Amino acid sequence: MLLQAAGPDPLFIILTVLFLVIAGVCVAMLMMTRQKLAAAQAQAISANATAAAGGVDAQRAIEEAKFKAKELISRAEAEARNQALALREKVEAELDGERKEIKELEKRVAKREESIEQKFELLDKKADQLEKKHKEIDEGKARIAQLEAEAQKVLGDQRGKLTEIAKLSQEEAKRELLEVFDAELVNDKATRLTKMLKELDETSSEKAKWTISQAICRLASEYTGETTTSTVEIPNDEVKGRIIGREGRNIRHFQQVTGVDVIVDDTPGVVVVSCFDSVRRETAARTLRRLIQDGRVHPARIEEIFEVCGKEIEKEILEAGKQIQFDSEVHNIHPKAQYLLGRLKFRSSYGQNVYKHTVEVAHLMGMMCSELGLDPKLGRRCGLMHDIGKAIDHEKEGGHPFVGKEFLIGIKERPEVIEAAGGHHDQPLTHKYPYVSLAAAADAISASRPGARRESMERYVQRLTALEGVAKSFNGVQEAFAVQAGRELRVLVNAKAVTDEQALVIARDMARKIEDELTYPGEIKVTLMRETRVTEFAR
């Protein structure tokens, strides 16, 4: 079947081509033979001409020429026969090879036809099986429909009997059951709420004390180290010996002149300078770095470099006090306040630079005042002065709001600025100026910005990742997003897999799991969203 569809027989084509080739070769050989005969005749004619001219000798030459012509003709015929025979043998050998290939090809085609027939048989069997399965499925559907109809009939009969016995309709029975459950739930809620309030009254005070003590234990040493020490790198440990000096002479004189403590321990490559006064600590650290670079460490050189570094720090403070006016867009600042604001460049709080924090709060207050219809210039001034007490809180008793308020009263600053500086942390229940609340809000915004304070960006990202991981551990949750710096967790659930009632339970369990497994500041709002989306395209 396949060979007929493919076209004419290839053997016939091959034999025809070979026959044409042989015929062409034979014609070529005959033409060569004729050319040789013609050459021989030409020689004979020339010989006859010569004989006619030469007499008897010419007759002999003619006979010799004829004899040579016969020899040439016989040789040419023999060569032609040999070549024809060799060509015939070659052609027959090629034909034998072609016949073998054709036979192998026929065998392969026969095998393929057999395999195709077998595949057709298998397909027929599978089609029969599929038809049987479809019939069985249809019969099963019919049985299921019959059983469902019978079940609905039985259920209707049972409901009718229950209605006759209870003398209540289905809706009335549901209403009575729900009323009973509601009453039980109200009582249960009241009992649990009373118990929780009692436990809260008993444990809140102890819990608050424990929380504060734990916070102090966890943060006190780390916070003190960040805000009271500076690290000075040294090229090698030999420099430590020069800093200490013979019998500790150099280090004692350095501490006496600078007013700081120098800690030289086994830590490789560093020396620690400790002091609560940030300006004095920075001056001492810069002096120590200059001494290490100079290489000459002795009392006279210490005093000389300390005096130079002190003048440089004072100059930087004055320049920073001038610059902060342009950065915050606040002008006409008292020189003393300007100097203290410049000192904030060397002051940090919870790892946040107070100079940058102050400028940020000033801009935030300016924007909020503009939105609320208040004076933005006065708002920026309140924000700039709100933490001025941090520049001198180590010199006077009291927190920085109280110290800053007393200083601003002394320089006769505007009352709005004084109240914002004194009340931005502990606001009274009623205050005279709205700038106090705005200062507290701007201070909180700047401090809670991701990465602004102690918490590094890496830890911040890890905390948000952990928060999203807790949400995604629940079944039915598709996506979870931690927003507002980790203060809110928004969760998307699969509307097909989770009902409204299950969504309430998942949200409550998720909040409990976050409380048990994670550590975070403040509170986290868990918002679980369940929605059904239908999408269609108009083409």
Same topology between domain 234-314 and domain 459-531: no
Lowest mean pLDDT among 161-175, 194-208, 287-301, 448-462: 448-462
Q: Calculate the average pLDDT of the chain.
A: 77
Return the residue matching tokens 């395999």.
115
pLDDT at position 466: 86
Strands (E), 335-452: 348-349, 352-353
pLDDT at position 228: 61
Closest CA to 261 of 248, 275, 247, 271: 275
**Total residues belonging to the chain:** 539
Q: What H or E segment, with its residue span, contains residue 11?
A: helix 10-54
Q: At what angle do helices 376-385 and 435-448 cross, to 10 degrees?
A: 60
pLDDT, greater one: 460 or 408 = 408
Q: Do residues 343 and 368 make contact, with C-beta atoms less than 8 angstroms apart?
A: no
Delimit the domains of the chain by residue range: 2-160, 234-314, 329-448, 459-531
**Tell me, what amino acid is at 362?**
A
pLDDT at position 45: 60
| Residue 323: pLDDT over 70 | yes
Kindly report, residue by residue over 108-142, the tens digit of the pLDDT. Answer: 898 888 889 888 888 888 888 888 888 889 888 88
Lowest mean pLDDT among 211-225, 367-381, 464-478: 211-225
Give the fold, CATH level 3, of 329-448. Answer: Hypothetical protein af1432 (1.10.3210)
pLDDT, greater one: 276 or 318 = 318
The band of 38, judged by pLDDT with boundaries at 50, 70 and 90, is low
The band of 459, judged by pLDDT with boundaries at 50, 70 and 90, is low
Q: Identify the CATH homologous superfamily for domain 234-314.
A: K Homology domain, type 1 (3.30.1370.10)
The architecture that CATH gives domain 459-531 is 2-Layer Sandwich (3.30)
The band of 350, judged by pLDDT with boundaries at 50, 70 and 90, is low
Kindly report, residue by residue over 484-538, the tens digit of the pLDDT. Answer: 767 788 999 988 888 888 888 888 889 889 888 887 666 788 899 888 777 777 8
Using a 10 angstrom Cβ sphere, with 0-12 exposed, 13-18 middle and 19 or more buried, the burial of residue 198 is exposed
| Residue 377: pLDDT over 80 | yes
Q: What H or E segment, with its residue span, contains residue 126?
A: helix 56-166
Q: What H or E segment, with its residue span, contains residue 481?
A: strand 477-483
pLDDT at position 491: 92
CB proximity list for 457: less than 8 A, separation 6 or greater: 450, 451
Closest CA to 356 of 477, 491, 447, 461: 447
pLDDT at position 65: 77
Average pLDDT over residues 422-433: 67
pLDDT at position 426: 65
Both tokens of residue 47?
């010989």
Q: Do residues 65 and 73 make contact, with C-beta atoms less than 8 angstroms apart?
A: no
